[in-house]
Amino acid sequence: TATSLEAVREYAAAMEALSNGRHADALKSFSNAVDVDPNFGLAYAGMAVASRNLQQQQNAEKYINLALQRIDRMTDREKYRTRGYSYSLRGNAQKCVEEYSTLVSLYPSDVAAHNNLARCHGMLRNIPKALEQARLAAAILPKRSLYRFNVSMYASYGSDFQTGEREAQALQQMDPNTRNGFTAL
């Protein structure tokens, strides 16, 4: 729903940075995208995600509100994603599960939706469902360290320490520079 290729390019760079744990870079690229297209609602939602990951809750709330103000300009898929993240950010785990469940039923290969649905289930302390969704995300993008980290953590939360350790070690081999492997282990 962006109005320029430059905004889409910045958004794509932001998503790549975000999925690789470079949250400050992601925030900068999302910000560049809205500088180019001030009505690019999904970029504001991305700014909310990056801000929260940088422990900037107040900014995350501000950006998700800006995204919601532009929801009428989004595709249905973008609407589910934005509302789902809004519910997650505000701690409404049940509504979060509803939005992301609908999203993954419509778009089963949406890796971010599976990952976020895992988080929502985790907020509800439904660790088996969280682990199931984390595994689906990791199956779609098996070399993405974030998804392997989540599988490790949810397995450990569910007292499957053998799987948690195995996934943490795989994560360390896949990306020796990430601190997530050590955290998971």
- 131-153 residue pLDDT tens: 999 999 999 999 888 899 999 99
Lowest mean per-residue pLDDT among 20-24, 72-76, 134-138, 163-167: 20-24
Position of tokens 């990306």? Answer: 175
Considering only CA atoms, which of 123, 124, 122, 143 is closest in space to residue 134? 122
Confidence band of 176 (pLDDT split at 50, 70, 90): confident
The whole-angstrom separation of Cα 88 and Cα 92 is 6
- Give the per-residue pLDDT at 29: 97
Query: Does residue 13 register a pLDDT over 90?
Result: yes
Q: Percent of the chain beyond pLDDT 90?
A: 83
The whole-angstrom separation of Cα 56 and Cα 122 is 21
- Give the per-residue pLDDT at 46: 97
> What are 89-123's pLDDT values in tens digits?
999 999 999 999 999 999 999 999 999 999 999 99
The set of long-range contacts for 17-24, using a CB threshold of 8 Å and a minimum separation of 24, is 18/46, 18/49, 18/50, 18/53, 19/112, 19/144, 19/146, 20/145, 20/146, 21/145, 21/146, 21/178, 21/180, 23/50, 23/53, 23/54, 24/50, 24/54
- Give the per-residue pLDDT at 49: 96
- Give the per-residue pLDDT at 37: 95
